[in-house]
Structure 1
């Protein structure tokens, strides 16, 4: 039984006429009649009762009609779904992100993408940058939003966010209320910092900047998240370097002081990364992220 024969059978059943069915499927009547006869011989049953002014279905024909309608309907659904997958409108997208991404435009990108492509299932998971690179490599993630330090040669990338670090100091600190400060003023000051194992390149570059400016802060506490970092600053544990956007996370117990541009401290850099040769689905997401970035 061929798919073509099912389509011919369905046309004859719905038109109740070989002549009209042949016109509908754009072939001559004799080849259509032969295809139906071949189908009946293959199945060993009569599908139609030939009458003077047309045809009607036998009991076997009525049964096959139901089957044919279901099969062809499922094939139409499959065709539509496959077209959607090919165009990146249907499918599953696994996205990993660092906690800092929630304070950026990342949530707006997700919302815009979901509104534009409602048939795509988005799976979001929070990881650190190093873990996400492994998960992207083995296919567990399709896209990752990571801290970047220089070029990422293994993956394609797009610079999603660049912004300066600022000093977070407890209220009443000597730098509280200053319009600008230099890292060179923080020699020996207690500092809340992240662990080197998380971002060794960024860790070394920041401490290298302190050293270049003649300052060595005393790292008294490590913190994994910006919320914890700011809570410790508010408690008077020490100062911290945080992205400027972190000011949205804290109340009045912490002051945020811009850093002198002459210090030449690195910026916060967050990038979207994905495997080379992006699928249409991934490409559509990156396109939406770029559009929002250009408008900001």
Structure 2
């Protein structure tokens, strides 16, 4: 399957019609129609259902669109990586994934230093859930990632970040919990908990509280904590999270666990993949 055909397919998919896609690609409509037909013949399936106005995806077409976007993003990233290595002045590109973390400010500081030294470099800073970032890193779409322990690190080189992450509960300021200095393990079993979907985080809280997960009143799960801020503000539940991530300080308060539960943030990159010259130099900043 040719990369060129995948680009044609995606252009058609995004444009909605072959005629509009042909104008974007600067090819004739009959030529583009033949290319689409050739791709469908190669895959032995129709990718679009056709009517007089627009093309509609078949199930196979929707699947190919998802895979084509990943393939082309990886192709472009690989091409860019080779181009970066040929440039002595590091005028390349850096893609970093970053979870919600107290270490975000430290990483931003390092990125600022890096840009001051290599002003021609551009970057993408991708903020998402840990699972989504790991998926992008494993596919080669990110150079580096900032993740929050606990994580499985067998596949990655790691560099521990300096800011210790303190765990606790995000509570409404109107809640009696907001007047406490700390949250004790025996209290956690009595509270309606909103907790990360990550099994590692759930196991961490269960171990700290000395209770099995099924003994905790987990009423909901989330992937990014800002999604549950309104629920916490209205006292539907309390959210298990780290200190330092942005909150609405007029409505919410972070109360730490006691005994303290702390983990570290880590900068990670794949063991089995050579990083770009730009990423390699950025990693060196953390060792300086």
Shorter-chain TM band: 0.5 to 0.7
Within-5 A mapping of 1:1-296 = 85=86, 89-100=90-101, 103-149=104-150, 152-160=153-161, 161-195=163-197, 199-212=198-211, 216-246=215-245, 248-261=246-259, 265=261, 267-276=262-271, 277-291=274-288
In structure 2, C-alpha distance between the alignment counterparts of 1:89 and 1:126, rounded to whole Å: 24
In structure 2, C-alpha distance between the alignment counterparts of 1:162 and 1:121, rounded to whole Å: 29
Instruction: Map Cα deviations across residues 226-264 of structure 1 (whole Å, 9 max, x no partner).
Output: 222333211111122221103x42222223222212xx6
In structure 1, C-alpha distance between the alignment counterparts of 2:270 and 2:188, rounded to whole Å: 41
Q: 1:192 to 1:214 in 2, by over 3 A?
A: closer
Q: 1:138 to 1:241 in 2, by over 3 A?
A: closer
- Structure 1, unaligned stretches of length 5 or more? 1-80, 292-296
Match of 1:19 in 2: none
Structure 1 contact 169–256 (Cα < 8 Å) conserved: yes
In structure 2, C-alpha distance between the alignment counterparts of 1:203 and 1:149, rounded to whole Å: 10
Q: 1:93 to 1:185 in 2, by over 3 A?
A: same
Larger Rg: 1
- For normalisation by structure 2, the TM-score amounts to 0.60
In structure 2, C-alpha distance between the alignment counterparts of 1:185 and 1:116, rounded to whole Å: 50
- Structure 2, unaligned stretches of length 5 or more? 1-81
Q: What SS class does the counterpart of residue 175 from structure 2 fall into?
A: coil
Report the alpha carbon displacement of residue 83 of structure 1 after superposing the two structures with TM.
9.9
How many positions carry a matched residue from both structures? 204
Report the alpha carbon displacement of residue 214 of structure 1 after superposing the two structures with TM.
11
- For normalisation by structure 1, the TM-score amounts to 0.59
Structure 2 contact 102–244 (Cα < 8 Å) conserved: no
In structure 1, C-alpha distance between the alignment counterparts of 2:195 and 2:146, rounded to whole Å: 21
In structure 1, C-alpha distance between the alignment counterparts of 2:236 and 2:97, rounded to whole Å: 32
In structure 1, C-alpha distance between the alignment counterparts of 2:282 and 2:203, rounded to whole Å: 33
